[in-house]
Amino acid sequence: MIHIMEHAPRTPSQNQQPLENIILVGFMGSGKSSLGRELHQNLGYQLIDTDHVIEKQTGKSIPDIFSQDGEAAFRNLETELLKQLISQKTSEHIISTGGGVICIPENRTMLRKLGFVVWLECSVKDIFERTAKNKNRPLLQCDDPMQAIKTLLQERSPYYEETAHLKINTTGLSLNEVSCGILESARYYFGSA
Ligand code: S3P
């Protein structure tokens, strides 16, 4: 199901060139990376995966950053990267973000400045199934990952809601269907300034 949030129309500030990126937000395992690749193929925009950029910039894996430097240090890296993307006036890109990027208020503001923000909403069951075998997500390496997912999702859902221009429940939809829905809404959004 596709849901356009009430705060959808954009209001670029005067003298500011609006940035035309499509930004994917959503919980771990909600399909941001696969959909990012699908949108890249359908639209031709280059794909930026913030986790990958951070790994490249630091020369460390995400689990190593969490274990050696802590979650707060990782959040700072995410904030710095968003600042870079804005100061470089990055436009016409698909930006796939880490699931916790919306936890920091400053990040939520920057994501909306970067363009059209899409929240891929996903059920707890789907998230659990998709993340169960993957050891690369430090926040889910605990005794009760199902409970961790529920707690984090409850905490974060209002932030996704606040940040996104569009919410899509991806259950039962193909990647192509989701991609087409996003592209139609994004065209409308970018054309409405
Ligand atoms: C995180 C999500 C991960 C990664 C890091 C923290 C989170 O990205 O940024 O492990 O806090 O939800 P994905 O959403 O791509 O798994």
In ligand 1, which atom is closest to the CA atom of 152? 12
Ligand 1, CB cutoff 6 Å, lining residues: 28, 32, 51, 62, 98-100, 137-139
pLDDT per residue as tens digits for the range 25-57: 999 999 999 999 999 999 999 999 999 999 999
Note the pLDDT of residue 134: 86
Partners of 22 in beta bridges: 94, 116
Note the pLDDT of residue 4: 64
In ligand 1, which atom is closest to the CA atom of 49? 15
Is the entire prediction scored with pTM above 0.75? yes
Class of residue 161 by CB neighbours under 10 A (exposed 0-12, middle 13-18, buried 19+): middle
* Cα end-to-end distance, the chain, whole Å: 25
Note the pLDDT of residue 14: 47
